[in-house]
Amino acid sequence: MIKNSFSILLGLVSAMAIMMAVEFLNSFFVKPPSDEIIANPELLKEFMTNLPTSAYLPVYFGYVLGAFVAGIVTMKLSKSNQTLMIVLVGSLLTLAGAFNFFVFLPGQPLWFVILSLLSFLPFVWLGKKMVSKS
């Protein structure tokens, strides 16, 4: 039980670390919003709406890479109920993504929101499959 909980936690932490690293690297190419924009929800929503598609593609790559690595980490560390652990990690990433899209950073394009939310579980599962093949 403790080992499985630890595997979920480490899977989520590894996913978040990868996502944050890719978004940090993306900030060198896409100018982040100013403090004034961040402080005003309406300005932030407008800023997010006006970003080019090229600003969202690296972020999406970070999401799927993070989910994939989370699947690998969770699978390697969990000792029992591995499928359940993978589904839990994918579901928690999807919930965190939904929270991010609708609470923290509203205004992102609908195509990006849908594509991202539909990608977490399959890529976590793909990470599981990579480990189970070896």
Total structural domains in the chain? 1
Q: Which residue range(s) make up the domain with 10?
A: 2-133
Q: Mind listing the pLDDT tens digit for each residue in 51-76?
A: 999 999 999 999 999 999 999 999 99
Name the one residue in this structure whose structure tokens are 């399959």: 122
**Predicted TM-score (pTM) of this structure:** 0.92
Q: Which of 78, 74, 90 is nearest to 122 (CA)?
A: 90
At position 36, the amino acid (one-letter code) is E
State how far the Cα of 78 lies from the Cα of 98, in Å rounded to an integer: 26
Q: Mind listing the pLDDT tens digit for each residue in 17-43?
A: 999 999 999 999 999 899 999 899 899
State how far the Cα of 122 lies from the Cα of 124, in Å rounded to an integer: 6
Q: Please check the confidence at residue 12 and state whether its pLDDT lies above 70.
A: yes
User: How far is it between the farthest Cα atoms of the chain?
Assistant: 50
Residues of the chain above pLDDT 70, percent: 99
Q: What angle do CA 73, 77, 79 make, to 5 degrees?
A: 140
